[in-house]
Amino acid sequence: MNIVIFGPPGAGKGTQSNFIAKKFQLHQLSTGDLLRKEIKNQTKLGNEISSIINSGNLVSDQIVSDLIEKYISNSIYKNRLIFDGYPRNLNQATNLDNLLKKYDQKIDIVLKLSVSLKTIKKRILERSTLEQREDDNEEIAVKRFKTYEKNINPIIEFYEQTNLLKTVNGETTISEINNEIRGLIGGIKG
């Protein structure tokens, strides 16, 4: 089973992916985490992308496509991936379909977490006291939210056409959201 989870910054993608990964023995593939690792390790790529990420913009489609293909092409992860933060625009959504086809896989369910900007600001402010993410301040969080809003409608339409899209209210507690997602995934496992 391969799962896509998307939603605005601070929606709970990472929190819920982590839970789903453990529950269903899947691998959490967070493009944000992979990109931050490159920055932390000061790789050539990391140095190229740090200013883009820290200003709340998207890095190029090619960069993230190359990162995710490494996982999709690896038989260890075959049909065991949760895409946390990918796709972020229509081009990435069609690219993901093509990459999965190339390696004889598909998406089984797409989860959209809906959260208001007010809640996002609150969560990101809270997290900024716990973690040192350079993009976790109010100004950049709003920028990240705007980037999300600008690109998201075509993705929603794309997945509505395939009947894979399930929208989850991301405003409730972590465990309530866990339960809802578990039910949705249980439903497709049949």
**Sites of contact with ligand AP5 (CB under 6 A):** 7, 9-15, 31-32, 35, 52-53, 56-59, 64, 85-86, 88, 92, 123, 126-127, 144, 173-174, 177
In terms of CB distance, is 41 or 189 closer to ligand AP5? 41
In angstroms, rounded to a whole number, what is the distance separating the alpha carbons of residues 153 and 175?
Answer: 28
Position among 4, 8, 14, 148 found at the interface with Mg ion (CB under 5 A): 14
Minimum CB distance to ligand AP5, residue 35 (Å): 5
| Minimum distance from residue 175 beta carbon to ligand AP5 (Å) | 8
Residue 4 contacts residue 31 (beta carbons within 8 Å): no
Closest to ligand AP5 by CB, 25 vs 173, is: 173
Strand segments, DSSP code E, in the chain are: 3-6, 27-30, 81-84, 109-114, 165-169
Classify 116 as helix, strand or coil: coil
Does position 15 interact with Mg ion (CB under 5 A)? The reply is: no
Strand order in the sheet with 3-6: 27-30, 81-84, 3-6, 109-114, 165-169
